[in-house]
Chain A
Amino acid sequence: MRSFAESDVAYILLSVRWTLLLSMLALAFGGAFAALLSPLTTHPNKALRVAVNMFAILGQSTPLLMLLFLVFFGLPIIGVTVSAWWAACVGLAIHSAAFLVSIWGESIGAVPKGQSEAAEALGLSPLQTLRLVIIPQAMRIALPPTVGFCVQLIKGTSLASIIGFVELTRAGQIVNNATFEPLKVFALVAALYFAMCWPLSLLGAHLESKLARAVAR
C-alpha cells in the first residue's frame, strides 16, 4: 500500500478523456441511428411505428449493465471479437438510440399538425415537408431533453468500468486498490463527473426555460 500521490491524481485526470470519448462516440452512433428511426414514429405505416416504439421501450427498459454484458458476450458468437472498448461503445450507442428515438419522436409529434398540412397544401413532398418544415421546428423542441440525456449518457459510461474498460471510474478503482484511500479517490472521481455534467444540466435547464418562454409568447 502506498499513499495517494500526484501521479495518481494525474492518472485519474487523464482517464477523463476516455469517458468523454466514449460519451461522444456513443452519442454519435446512437444519434445517427435515432435520426433514421425517429421520423418513423409518426409514419403512416402502423407496423413500422409499432416496431420503432417497441425498440425504444425495450431499449429503455433494459438495464444498461445487462446491455453491456449482452454486447460483450453476444458479439463474439456472431464472429465479431470485441474489446471492452468496442463493447462499451456499441452498448452505450444502443442505449442512446433507444432514448433519443423517444425524445426526438416526441418532438416531431409536438410540431403542430397544421404545419405539415400547410406544407402539403403548398405542394411539398413528404420528405421535403420533414426536412424543411418539421425537423427544423422539432429540433428546437428536442434540444433541452437531448442535452439532459447527454448528462445521463456521461454518467452511464461509468458502467464500462464493470466490463473492464479503463475510463474515469475504473481509473479510480485502480488507484483505490493501490492506495486504499477510497474517500479521497472517489471524491475526486465524483468531482470530475460533476464538472462534466453540471454545466450540461444548467444548459439543459436554461434551454428549457427559454423554450417555455418562446412557446408562451
Chain B
Amino acid sequence: MGYQFRFDLVLAHWPAFVEGAMATLIISVVASVLGLLIGVAGALVRSYGPRPLSVLVGVYVEVIRNTPFLVQLFIVYFGLPAIGIKADANLSAVSAMAINVGAYATEIVRAGLASIPRGQIEAAAALGLRPYQIFIHVMLVPAARTIFSALTGQFTLVMLTSSVVSAVSATDLAGVANRVAAIGFRHLEAYSIATVIYLAMALAISGMFSLLSRRLFRYARQG
C-alpha cells in the first residue's frame, strides 16, 4: 500500500508521447480518408451497382461490422505475408483500419443517399437544374449534411480504436505508453498520461468537427 505516483519519471519521456500522439493522428487521418473513399465507392455500388457486386459489398460490410478489429488486424498483419505481400506493422495497421472504416462508412453513406427523397431530385430537374447541379446541390450536399455527424463520429472512434494496433507493435501512442511503462515499471503513470492524451484528442476532434459542421451547413439553420 501507499503507492508513490512518479509522473515525473514518465513525463521525462514527453517527446516520445508527442511522437506517439502524432503517429496516432497520422494513421487515423490516413485510414479515415482511405476509408471514406472506400465508403463512397461502396455506397454507390450498394445503391446503384449491379446485383452481384452489390451483394459482395454487403457481405464485406457485414463481415467487418460483426468481427473485432483486433482479429481483422491479425488477419492483415499475418495474412499479407502469407500470400506474398511484404508489409510492416505500420502499413498493416493503416490497411486494416482503412478496411474497417470503409465498411462503416459504406453503411453511413448509403443511408445518406437513401435519405434523399426521389421527389426532390425530380423537382430539381423540373426546375431546369443541370444534372451536375442536381448531383451537387440536391444529392451530395444534403446527404453530406445528414451523415456528417455519424461519419465524423466514426472518425473519432477510429482514432480511439487505433490504440489496438500497438498489439502488432505498430508505432502509435499506445505503443509509446507500452515502451515507457516497461522502462521504469511505471505502467499506471504511462497509461494514465496516454489516456489523457487520447481523451484530449478525441474531444478536440469532435469539437472541431461540430464547429466545421456549423460553418459548412450554415444555410441549413436559416431554412
Contacts and interface: CB of A to CB of B under 8 A. Distances in A.
Interface of A: 57-58, 61-67, 69-70, 73-74, 77, 79, 151, 155-156, 158-159, 161-162, 169, 172-173, 176, 182-183, 186-187, 189-190, 193-194, 197-198, 201
Nearest to B79: A183
B12 interface: no
Interface of B: 1, 3, 62-63, 65-72, 74-75, 78-79, 82-83, 156, 160-161, 163-164, 166-167, 174, 177, 187-188, 191-192, 194-195, 198-199, 202-203, 206
Contacts of B65: 151, 197, 201
A178 B74 CA distance: 15
Given A63-B195, A169-B71, A176-B78, 15 more contacts: A61-B203, A62-B198, A66-B177, A66-B195, A77-B3, A155-B68, A158-B69, A158-B71, A159-B68, A169-B74, A183-B83, A186-B71, A186-B75, A186-B79, A201-B66
Given A66-B194, A69-B191, A70-B192, A183 B66 contact: no
A180 to B, nearest CB: 9
Nearest to B187: A73
A183 B82 contact: yes
Nearest to A66: B195
Contact of A151 (B1, B66, B79, B156): B66
A118 to B, nearest CB: 33
A162 B67 CA distance: 17
B63 A194 contact: yes
A63 B202 CA distance: 10
B144 to A, nearest CB: 23
Given A65-B163, A70-B195, A182 B74 contact: yes
Contact of A61 (B1, B66, B192, B198): B198
B79 A73 contact: no
